[in-house]
Amino acid sequence: MFRTILVANRGEIALRVMRACRELGLRCVAVYSEADRDSPHVAYADDAYLIGPASPAESYLNIEAIIRAAKATGAEAIHPGYGFLAENTGFVRAVTAAGLVFIGPPAEAMERMGGKTAARREATAAGVPVVPGVLEPVTDAAEVRRLGKEFGYPIAIKAVGGGGGRGLRVVRSPNEVDEAFAAARREAEVAFKNGELYVEKYLDDPRHIEIQVLADRYGNAVALGERDCSVQRRHQKLIEECPSPALTPELRAEMGAAAVRLAKAVGYVSAGTLEFLYQDGRYYFLEMNTRIQVEHTVTEMVYGVDLVAAQIRIAQGERLWLKQEDLVPRGHAIECRINAEDPLHNFRPALGAIGAYHEPTGFGVRVDSGVRANYLVPSHYDSLLAKLITWGADRNEAIARMRRALAEYRIEGVTTIIPFHRAALEHPVFVAGEATVNFIPRHPELFTRTAELMPPSTTPAPVEPAPEPRRFTVEVNGRRFGVAVFGDGVSVATVQPAIRASTPRRAVTKKTMLAAPVDGVISPIQGRVVAVRVAHGQHVEAGQVLFIVEAMKMENEITAPHSGTIGEVRVDVGTTVEAGAVLATYQSTT
């Protein structure tokens, strides 16, 4: 039995796992980067360890540092959350070699199902239908062009080592292949430390439907229904619901049985999700996520099962206590991802400092959040701030409750996609349950309505300092301690690590824009330049992509504001830029 679990993640999922630990009577340990010192998950934990600089490669992807922290805190197990190292077999083996328990599937099952090409081979062997595509990684753009000719365009270039839309590019003609291949590889290497890619046929108007499974180490497995995740931007989910309005009970049972059959065939253990595309009455296996999903919440609300607690119990060696015949859906649940993005500018990341912050409450409303008031949103990680989930006795009630909750959700100082969600939840196509993965691109009127719902721009007001005594958290050799300051003196408030006071902090103001009054190409966001597609003296047209800036794990195209000849290019690949930075200037025409 475990006494202490280290959570190798950040944000809302770290808090979600820690709450499950608390309910099971377990201590929880946080790890954090230099950018996350003030993050809520650090304050909540029983113990907290600094594991490196802001860059994920030096912190949340730093296997040695995470295992050192687990050893130092006496943790017996590590929960990876989702993303980062959650599907990294090297991490699983390193955890096991250190004498610790990885809360998730064994490395062997992860290798068989976590790699997308390997999973396609396993599905084929188990008789589960798959989208036409390759069973091995592709080596170069020329091979992709050959496959495009074989399968017919459009095709999808996808990351072998991950999901969540990272490292995915849709290619509709041969002349798009080189750029898409390079971008997909670049994004996959950053997100998963694995640049391998594969190719499959891209279905033109499917629904994205996934089956939740739960399995123990004794060969028992069950399916906990499906989630419809068809509302997406950049191939990343925005709204998820359970059950899908498209499936009949018979098809739900058939897809669930196929998912369980495949999970058992590979010796899968823990929670996992098998993703399918559904079009014209047929379903095709897409990939398996060998971890807990962001959207696991809607399944929990409908089936009444705490999936994170189930992961922990299974990792401790418990036999699966659920029977398939007992798992019956009750009501309907919807999740809206609350991202720090600007929906009116292609969902580009919207960095800043949160001022006032108020979460909706009430019957059937749940918020899984990783932020608070007066919190600076880091630029180094993805844009997810929180998840808003509503439950209703039926789909119409869940939609009505979500509309009410979205209207009550208040986040000042940072642009979010809450107005977009409000527009989507009232759109007749969504209300009718007919949304496919093309819901957003097919309905530009969504953004007209979103603009009407956008709140006025606000700047967080400074927060007054707390009265005496002042309480702080200090960091000594990467470990956190609480102290209290009385006047000019200092006394230790507690020697228990990571017990943090809830002293309000002054709001962090936005950085001064760096753009000088020059005729140039301006970066609207803070981030890292990953591609430069222009040179001195080059003539460019308005709207031409000149730079790609990565922020919050998304690549953002920076285009020419007007036609002209480029004078000076001020950045290189790898340069970190602030919002408002001049990336290039135009030559004067006078």
Contact between 348 and 410 under an 8 Å Cβ cutoff? The reply is no
Residue located via tokens 């309505």: 449
- Residues 326-349: pLDDT tens digits? 999 999 999 999 999 999 999 998
CA distances 146 to 96, 117, 177, 196, Å, are 42, 18, 10, 17
- pLDDT tens-place string over residues 75-93: 999 999 999 999 999 999 9
User: Whole-angstrom Cα distance, residue 104 to residue 13?
Assistant: 15
**pLDDT score of 114 more than 80:** no
- The number of C-alpha atoms within 13 Å of 558 and in the hemisphere containing its C-beta is 30
Residue ranges of domains in the chain, CATH in brackets? 4-103 (3.40.50.20), 132-201 (3.30.1490.20), 207-453 (3.30.470.20), 465-503 (no CATH), 520-586 (2.40.50.100)
Q: 486 pLDDT exceeds 70? A: no
Mean pLDDT for the stretch of residues 93-115: 94
Span 394-420, pLDDT tens digits: 999 999 999 999 999 999 999 999 999
Q: Strand, coil or helix: what is 279?
A: strand
The lowest-confidence range among 159-173, 202-216, 276-290, 513-527 is 513-527
- Identify the pLDDT of residue 470: 64
Phi and psi (nearest 5°) for 482? -90, 140
pLDDT above 70 for 186: yes
Contact indicator for 155, 173 with CB cutoff of 8 Å:
no
Q: How confident is the model at residue 525 (pLDDT cuts 50, 70, 90)?
A: confident
Rounded Cα distance between 580 and 56, Å, is: 24
pLDDT tens across 154-179, in order?
999 999 876 667 789 999 999 999 99
Q: Are 537 and 543 in contact (CB under 8 A)?
A: no
The C-alpha torsion from 447 through 383 and 114 to 58, rounded to 10°, is 150
- Of the pLDDT bands very low, low, confident and very high (cuts 50, 70, 90), residue 505 is very low
User: Which of 228-242, 364-378, 381-395, 487-501 has the lowest average pLDDT?
Assistant: 487-501
pLDDT band, very low/low/confident/very high, at 511 (cuts 50, 70, 90): very low
* Mean pLDDT, residues 413-428 taken together: 97
**Residue 467, C-beta contacts closer than 8 angstroms, at least 6 positions apart:** none
- Give the pLDDT score at 553: 66
C-alpha to C-alpha distance for 427 and 528, rounded to whole angstroms: 36
Contact call for residues 83 and 9 (beta carbons, < 8 A)? yes
Would you tell me how many other CB atoms lie within 10 Å of the CB of residue 477?
7
Q: Which two tokens stand for residue 543?
A: 């709207």
pLDDT in the model for residue 471: 67
249 CB contacts (<8 Å, ≥6 apart)?
Answer: none
pLDDT digits (tens, 9 = 90+) for 15-67: 999 999 999 999 999 999 999 999 999 999 999 999 999 999 999 999 999 99
**Distance from C-alpha of 553 to C-alpha of 165, rounded to nearest angstrom:** 10
Model pLDDT for residues 433-456, shown as the tens digit of each residue: 999 999 999 999 999 999 999 998
Q: Calculate the alpha carbon distances from 466 to 41, 107, 201, 261 in Å.
A: 22, 49, 59, 58
Asked which of 333-337, 393-397, 462-466, 542-546 is least confident by mean pLDDT, the reply is 462-466
| Beta-sheet pairing, 236-242 with 221-233 | antiparallel
Q: For residue 580, what pLDDT is reported?
A: 80
For range 214-239, the mean pLDDT: 96
DSSP notation for 339-369: ESEEGGGTTEE--EEE-SEE---STTEEEEE
For residue 123, give Cα distances in angstroms to 31, 129, 212, 267, 308. 36, 7, 16, 13, 26
Residue 514 in tokens: 């760096």
- What pLDDT, on a 0 to 100 scale, did the predictor assign at position 481? 64
State the helix-helix crossing angle for 107-114 and 116-125, rounded to 10 degrees.
Answer: 90
- Provide the pLDDT for residue 482: 67
pLDDT given for residue 554 in this prediction: 74
Phi and psi of 5, rounded to 5°?
-125, 130
Please say if the pLDDT value at position 457 is more than 80: no
* Interior/surface letters 445-462, b for 16+ CB within 10 angstroms, e for the rest: ebbebbeebbeeeeebee
Asked whether the beta carbons of 317 and 366 are under 8 A apart, the reply is no
Q: Distance between CA 305 and CA 477 in Å, rounded?
A: 40
Above 70 in pLDDT, residue 516? no
pLDDT of 577: 86
For the chain, give the mean pLDDT: 89
Report the percentage of the chain scoring pLDDT > 70.
89
Tell me what the mean pLDDT of segment 504-514 comes to. Answer: 36
Residue 371 confidence class, pLDDT cut points 50, 70, 90: very high
Q: Quick one: how far is CA 473 from the chain centroid?
A: 29
Q: Which residues of 421-439 are buried (b: 16+ CB within 10 A; e: fewer)?
A: bbbbbebeebeeeebbbeb
